[in-house]
């Protein structure tokens, strides 16, 4: 499997004169992008295969950028317009599906009790508000801020420093326009060297006034054969609880509470955030040891279920925070890719209140950190229980993935294996 990683190198070694020049280029690039955006906004039929001379020449009277860089700008403009329209369509679908669900409820529920009449009344109000919202919805044209550009070998090239000493390399940019060429000094850092040693640097760069971002590609080989599967539940008492009954990162709560006490924007706050990130990185690495497939809860399959989304986001708000949650999932997935471990997700629906033995889902099953089934009396740590449900959901396919493991796969949980 091919994986891509990126890293940023600071532009702080650049002279003042060059910085001014770089800023001028970025501004001009942003301006040109915006001319293209205006054009593509009213010409939705154009796609990337049509970015030929007539279109690339559109902003020619208003910019000094070369045809090469104009083409780069056109491509970025097309991406920006496309993504805004996609997000807008998605939002519209969300509202439309809520309206359809309301209409269905209004058709099926009869006004035969006071309670039902009140419900129906509320649905009517909601329906009216949403219909009005839908008719008012319109996409906002994006705007390029002129603060970054994504360029490749047609414009830029990383040249190794010939002289020993000052800098490791220069990012040489040419074919910009107005006869400008620009060399930005680059000093490698630890992460850059690591990536450079084990992967292939791509001829693609994101340039801003603060940094140049490099990307690297590496072939990891095929995924490991699936023998050891674990489910992972994310929480505040332990960052990760696994279905093989282990807990990792039990110090995360203290770290998050400390970070919350730090003043916004202070150096202490930044340090606290870095400590949390570092801890998440460590756990995301540690947890994959001797594993071939991990399963986590994720919302991706639930785009249309806003009620469920609300419930999960509420859970996360009261636990590790949505930012930390997103960062944690991202790190897990990245580490899986690097270690040839398969990464799967299931719906979080009821995982924390379902009994893994008798399947009863009841909110009374969970009491803080303790899980005790109201029906069969099965008792466990609440987070570990959730991890068991996550892996079970994955294996049975209920609400989750349709993946079926091969026979040789061993489920690393004694309770579930004996069922």
Q: Based on CB atoms, which residue is closest to Zn ion, 132 or 376?
A: 376
Question: Could you tell me which of 109, 113, 92, 131 has the C-alpha nearest to residue 304?
Answer: 92
Torsion angle defined by CA atoms of residues 109, 114, 115 and 118, in that order, rounded to the nearest 10 degrees: 80
Q: Based on CB atoms, which residue is closest to Zn ion, 30 or 231?
A: 231
Contact by Cβ (8 Å): 360, 373:
yes
Residue numbers of the site for Zn ion (CB under 5 A)?
Answer: 355, 357-358, 373, 375-376, 378
**How near is the Cβ of 375 to Zn ion at its closest, in Å?**
5
Q: Based on CB atoms, which residue is closest to Zn ion, 344 or 393?
A: 393
**How near is the Cβ of 372 to Zn ion at its closest, in Å?**
9
Helices (H), 15-158: 16-42, 53-56, 67-108, 114-136
**How near is the Cβ of 360 to Zn ion at its closest, in Å?**
5
Q: Based on CB atoms, which residue is closest to Zn ion, 137 or 376?
A: 376
Q: Based on CB atoms, which residue is closest to Zn ion, 250 or 359?
A: 359
Strand partners, 169: 160, 186
Question: Could you tell me which of 393, 319, 307 has the C-alpha nearest to residue 354?
Answer: 393
**How near is the Cβ of 374 to Zn ion at its closest, in Å?**
8
Would you say how long the chain is, in residues? 419
Residue 390 to residue 384: CA distance in whole angstroms:
10
Q: Which distant-in-sequence residues (6+ apart) come within 8 Å of 76 by Cβ?
A: 33, 144, 149, 150
Q: Based on CB atoms, which residue is closest to Zn ion, 214 or 371?
A: 371
Token readout for 102 is 């309301």
**How near is the Cβ of 400 to Zn ion at its closest, in Å?**
20
Helices (H), 187-248: 190-198
**How near is the Cβ of 359 to Zn ion at its closest, in Å?**
7
Q: Based on CB atoms, which residue is closest to Zn ion, 132 or 375?
A: 375
**How near is the Cβ of 110 to Zn ion at its closest, in Å?**
35
DSSP string across 117-130: HHHHHHHHHHHHHH
């Amino acid at each position: 499997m091919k994986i891509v990683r990126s890293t940023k190198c600071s532009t702080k070694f650049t002279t003042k004169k060059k910085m001014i020049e770089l800023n001028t280029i970025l501004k001009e690039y942003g301006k040109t992008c915006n001319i293209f955006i205006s054009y593509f906004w009213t010409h939705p039929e154009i796609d990337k295969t049509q970015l030929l001379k007539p279109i690339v020449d559109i902003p020619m009277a208003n910019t000094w950028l070369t045809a090469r860089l104009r083409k780069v700008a056109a491509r970025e403009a097309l991406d920006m317009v496309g993504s805004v329209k996609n997000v807008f369509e998605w939002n519209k679908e969300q509202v439309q599906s809520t309206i359809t669900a309301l209409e269905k409820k209004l058709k099926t529920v009869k006004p035969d009790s006071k309670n039902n009449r009140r419900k129906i009344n509320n649905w009517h109000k909601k329906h009216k508000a949403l219909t009005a919202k839908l008719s008012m919805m319109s996409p906002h044209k994006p705007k390029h801020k002129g603060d970054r550009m994504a360029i490749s070998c047609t414009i830029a090239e990383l040249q190794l420093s010939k002289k020993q000493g000052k800098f490791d390399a220069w990012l040489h940019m040419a074919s910009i326009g107005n006869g400008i060429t620009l060399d930005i000094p680059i000093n490698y850092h630890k992460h850059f060297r690591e990536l450079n040693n084990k992967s292939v640097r791509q001829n693609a760069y994101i340039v801003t006034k603060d940094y140049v971002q490099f990307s690297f590609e590496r072939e990891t080989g095929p995924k490991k054969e699936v023998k050891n599967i674990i489910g992972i539940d994310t929480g505040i008492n332990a960052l990760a609880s696994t279905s093989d009954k282990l807990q990792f990162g039990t110090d995360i709560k203290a770290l998050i509470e400390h970070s919350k006490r730090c003043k916004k924007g202070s150096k202490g706050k930044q340090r606290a955030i870095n400590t949390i990130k570092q801890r998440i990185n460590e756990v995301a690495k540690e947890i994959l040891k001797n594993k071939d497939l991990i399963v986590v809860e994720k919302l991706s399959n639930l785009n249309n279920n806003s009620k469920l989304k609300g419930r999960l986001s509420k859970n996360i708000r009261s636990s590790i925070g949505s930012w930390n949650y997103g960062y944690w999932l991202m790190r897990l997935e990245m580490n899986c890719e690097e270690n040839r471990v398969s990464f799967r997700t299931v719906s979080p629906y009821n995982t924390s209140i379902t009994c893994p033995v008798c399947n009863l889902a009841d909110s009374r099953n969970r009491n803080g950190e303790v899980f005790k089934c109201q029906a069969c009396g099965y008792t466990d740590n609440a987070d570990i229980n959730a991890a068991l449900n996550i892996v079970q959901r994955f294996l049975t396919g209920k609400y989750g993935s349709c993946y079926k493991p091969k026979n040789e796969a061993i489920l690393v949980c004694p309770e579930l294996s004996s069922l």
